[in-house]
Structure 1
Amino acid sequence: MKKLLFLLCVLSPSVFAQSVIGSWSGELSFQGVKLPLIIHIKPAGDGITATMDSPYQGAKDLPVQVAKWADELLTIEVTNIGLSYKAKLVTPDSLHGDFSQGPLKVKFGMSRSKGEKPLVRPQTPEGPYAYYTEEVTVKNEVEGNVLAGTLAAPDQSTKHPILVMITGSGAQTRDEELFGHKPFLVIADHLAKQGIATLRLDDRGMGQSEAGKPDATSADYAGDILSAVNFLSKRGYKNIGLLGHSEGGMIAPMVNSSKVKFMVLLAAPGIPIVELMRAQTYEIGRSQGAPEAMAKRISDTNYKLYQYMNSYKGSDFRADVLKYLKEEMKDPQAETTIKQVESEWFRYFIAFDPTSYLKKVKVPVLALNGTKDVQVTAKENLEGLRASLPKNKKTEILAMEGLNHLFQTAKTGSVMEYGQIEETISPAVLEKIASWIKSL
């Protein structure tokens, strides 16, 4: 064995790298959460290149900025998210080393992958469906971009109530697909069977929808939804509602149309976004095992940055914010941070106060939030909704016990838990949405 190790050590780097070429899988375990990760390593000249998958987080082929095999040590770094893995090959088929990302630092082992386990999602419906479906396109009446979607209804009649569904942050398909879940498909399926129609759309640049202009903001997305409302009205629908999840719940009240007769807001912001993000950063940190002092420090630091951004009056946002990050905040990853905050979407989002729009809503609203939601915390945001929404005897604002941001029955509420849970959305939420709409 000693002779074999010596022979390996004197081989060229390209041959030596062959020992780690291939796919490796492992399961991070922390705070009661288990998160599968997969690293794909390929040869590249005299070295290696790599990508990473996180199936439970809906991430596939995530670019790895640093991939090295040198001095018997594998180094993997995804710098834009602060992820690092350094490990040694302890057997031909196993790696063991140190994984870190933000406050998380754990020992982590990986084995040569023998294929990914299929994700179990028992609520996802499969066709043929026992109701009418139609593929449609909607053209934004102002910007001209075309959105593709699916209309699902009990039948072809336009007498049924119908909801335009609005996805959360980030580009998503019409099913709001993430972590192998398709919550909007599950909701649409349930509602169609209850006599309620839906229209769900691929976001800009996703699925079959056109990308539209660069740097679109939430206001532009509201224009997409308004155009969808007008599309349905022209087809003869009279009882049109909006269903928005997360940022979609922020966008729904922005859609200014007398044709909208009701709204369903799921985990919708009820307070200024800068305050929501302060609470979100703290709660996510705590849910991922960060000590309270660390979670608060990171939350306060981000809040300080967002306040600076919201008060900025200069002419060169990128240069000035980058300087602020380096000199005032002493951010060692300033170049990465600026990439995350400089987009028009984020600048609009972080400065947004939903209360001004909520106060103008005149129609009945069903607002739900899970008590274990760490992204849009239930207490603060439901209180904000109660304070801002005008009184309407049909409006209901409810905390759903034990549910996370995706309205799954959860143990911790952690983002890392989303993909582990087989349930796509709590049946209690599906039943509540349907019964409330039918009661109007």
Structure 2
Amino acid sequence: MATMTVTGSELVVALSGSEKVAGVHGDIRVPLSAVRDVAVVDDPVTGVRGLRAPGLAVPGRTKIGTWRRQGGRTFVVARRGTPAVRVTLEGAGYTELMVGDTDAQALADRVRAAAGLPEPAAEERVTFPSGDLTLGGTLALPPAGAGGAGPHPVALVITGSGPLDRDANHRSMRIGTSRDLAHALARAGVASFRYDKRGVGESQGDYLAAGLHDNVDDARAALDWLRSRPEIDPSAVFVIGHSEGAVITTALAAEPTADLAGIVLLAGMAKTGEETLTWQTRQIAGDLPAPVRLVLRVLRTDVIAKQAEAVSRIKATTTDVAWIQGRKTNARWTREFIAFDPAPHLRALRVPVLAVTGANDVQVDPADLETIAALVDGDVTTVLVPGVSHLLRREGEGDGGLRGYKQQVRRPTDPEVLALVTDWITGRLLPADL
């Protein structure tokens, strides 16, 4: 079976003869400087997503070779019943290496130390109730050297829109923003909790049937569960929301019983949902590739008019799910999002607020930061981050706008954004809290 070793300044994956044939690949060498993260995967055979190209797969038993997905490539040598070490890379051809090892944790520790990475958060996969449903999530505690014995200050991390798991990953795009935030917080001595949306990952329910207010209910249930944990300081609870998560955070924090130490709105909107969709459509229409714009002109198709038509049709629906323009749509969520006005909630906030938006965001108007600052009556900090997109990534040459998302997700969440969040939260804690 393949072995992963550290040799000098390189990480080496040595394949057996049969693995080279099955994977259509030779041994792999990458510089340790390219290693961005190391983790243990208990079930690597089912944990690999994407299309095999090229390689060998025996369903449920073995995966050897290259798996490609939007935004990355993973080289895998994994067998059922054997855990694997997953190494996340940047600038090394592959975005991930996943290699099985019977003592995967010890190997992961060696690779992490050789790459000079900080000690990881102590993560626990858990479940919690929300109404009649059971949802799955991950509680991340600071490593021993960063957070002391506890109880710890904590941040609930809420993902953006779409069927996203606890790490903010979609089945076709691994965004990973929530996971990056959780690990940055752990290094700063702050615990965190992130969870799968309804009908995603380990959470019960139906994603398409869930409304925006259901998602607020789930976030409230997560907070209640979090405060019950002995490792958590219930007087130092923050909420961080990205995109839709910022909408949920705003609604949750405005409730009189929220009792939060502060909130962070990442790409948060100040317009109504309908106004935001209209603004978003105008940005995206201008970002379409030239050939597509040409076809639309030939067909006399007005993208903005089509979007307005779709919104009008959704408003007329009464079911949870509806077919709109040939697509099965989460109609109730969309109706509730269109009607949502963050302004009264922002006015009602009585907790410290950090609002951060990328200057290159094409899904939420960066100018909304000024409105947030004007509406919040109290401690509010707004930051416009130059060169950063809605995905909280730094845009590179030629990968701006929606078209660049699949390139952007190959890079980690922008370090400046992570530092803004962690510094702001730790700056509002008493020395005894850390």
The TM-score bracket by the shorter chain reads: 0.5 to 0.7
Residue in 1 that maps onto 2:240: 243
Counterparts in 2 of 1:57 and 1:268: CA distance versus 1, 3 Å: farther
Please identify, of 154-163 and 190-199, the stretch whose mean Cα deviation from structure 2 is larger: 154-163
Does residue 229 (structure 1) correspond to residue 223 (structure 2)? The answer is: yes
Does residue 150 (structure 1) correspond to residue 144 (structure 2)? The answer is: no
- Which has the greater radius of gyration? 1
Does residue 410 (structure 1) correspond to residue 395 (structure 2)? The answer is: yes
| Deviations, residues 257-305 of structure 1 (Å, cap 9, x unaligned) | 3332211111112111111111111111212235699699422442355
Give the letter aligned to residue 167 of structure 1. Answer: T
Which residue, 88, 109, 122 being the options, matches 1:132? 122
Residue in 1 that maps onto 2:70: 56
Does residue 272 (structure 1) correspond to residue 272 (structure 2)? The answer is: yes
Q: How far apart, CA to CA, are the structure 2 residues paired with 1:219 and 1:200?
A: 18
After TM superposition, the structure 1 = structure 2 runs for residues 30-49 of structure 1, keeping only pairs within 5 Å, are none
Counterparts in 2 of 1:157 and 1:303: CA distance versus 1, 3 Å: farther
Residue in 1 that maps onto 2:386: 401
Does residue 176 (structure 1) correspond to residue 168 (structure 2)? The answer is: yes
Residue in 1 that maps onto 2:258: 258
**Is the 1:278–1:300 Cα contact (8 Å) retained in structure 2?**
no
| Deviations, residues 330-356 of structure 1 (Å, cap 9, x unaligned) | xxxxx6516455621112112221222
Residue in 2 that maps onto 1:17: none
Q: Percent identity?
A: 27
**Is the 1:158–1:235 Cα contact (8 Å) retained in structure 2?**
no
Residue in 1 that maps onto 2:211: 217
After TM superposition, the structure 1 = structure 2 runs for residues 248-397 of structure 1, keeping only pairs within 5 Å, are 248-255=245-252, 256=255, 257-289=257-289, 297-303=302-308, 305-306=310-311, 310=315, 312=316, 336-337=324-325, 339-340=327-328, 343-379=331-367, 381-392=368-379, 395-397=380-382
Q: How far apart, CA to CA, are the structure 2 residues paired with 1:213 and 1:272?
A: 23
**Is the 1:373–1:413 Cα contact (8 Å) retained in structure 2?**
no
Q: How far apart, CA to CA, are the structure 1 residues paired with 2:348 and 2:270?
A: 13
Cα drift, residue 56 of structure 1: 2.5
**Is the 1:163–1:199 Cα contact (8 Å) retained in structure 2?**
yes
Classify the secondary structure of the residue corresponding to 2:201.
coil
Which residue, 417, 425, 428 being the options, matches 1:429? 417
Q: How far apart, CA to CA, are the structure 1 residues paired with 2:95 and 2:155?
A: 28
Q: How far apart, CA to CA, are the structure 2 residues paired with 1:243 and 1:299?
A: 32
- Over the aligned positions, Cα root-mean-square deviation in angstroms equals 3.3
Residue in 2 that maps onto 1:49: none
Cα drift, residue 386 of structure 1: 2.2
Does residue 163 (structure 1) correspond to residue 163 (structure 2)? The answer is: no
Classify the secondary structure of the residue corresponding to 2:348.
coil
TM-score for both structures, normalised by structure 1: 0.62
Q: How far apart, CA to CA, are the structure 2 residues paired with 1:403 and 1:382?
A: 15
**Is the 1:288–1:414 Cα contact (8 Å) retained in structure 2?**
no
Give the letter aligned to residue 344 of structure 1. Answer: R
Classify the secondary structure of the residue corresponding to 1:407.
coil
Counterparts in 2 of 1:201 and 1:289: CA distance versus 1, 3 Å: same
Cα drift, residue 364 of structure 1: 0.7
Q: How far apart, CA to CA, are the structure 1 residues paired with 2:184 and 2:365?
A: 26
Cα drift, residue 431 of structure 1: 0.8
Please identify, of 408-417 and 272-281, the stretch whose mean Cα deviation from structure 2 is larger: 408-417
Q: How far apart, CA to CA, are the structure 2 residues paired with 1:348 and 1:187?
A: 28
Q: Paired residues, what number?
A: 307
Q: How far apart, CA to CA, are the structure 1 residues paired with 2:188 and 2:96?
A: 22
For structure 2, list consecutive stretches of 5 or more residues without a partner in the other structure. Answer: 1-49, 54-66, 73-91, 98-104, 110-118, 429-434
Q: How far apart, CA to CA, are the structure 2 residues paired with 1:288 and 1:212?
A: 32
**Is the 1:121–1:423 Cα contact (8 Å) retained in structure 2?**
no
**Is the 2:208–2:329 Cα contact (8 Å) retained in structure 1?**
no
Classify the secondary structure of the residue corresponding to 1:378.
coil
| Deviations, residues 26-74 of structure 1 (Å, cap 9, x unaligned) | xxxxxxxxxxx9899xxxxxxxxxxxx993369xxxxxxxxxxxxxxxx
**Is the 2:52–2:68 Cα contact (8 Å) retained in structure 1?**
no
| Deviations, residues 315-340 of structure 1 (Å, cap 9, x unaligned) | x758xxx9xxxxxxxxxxxx651645
Counterparts in 2 of 1:340 and 1:118: CA distance versus 1, 3 Å: farther
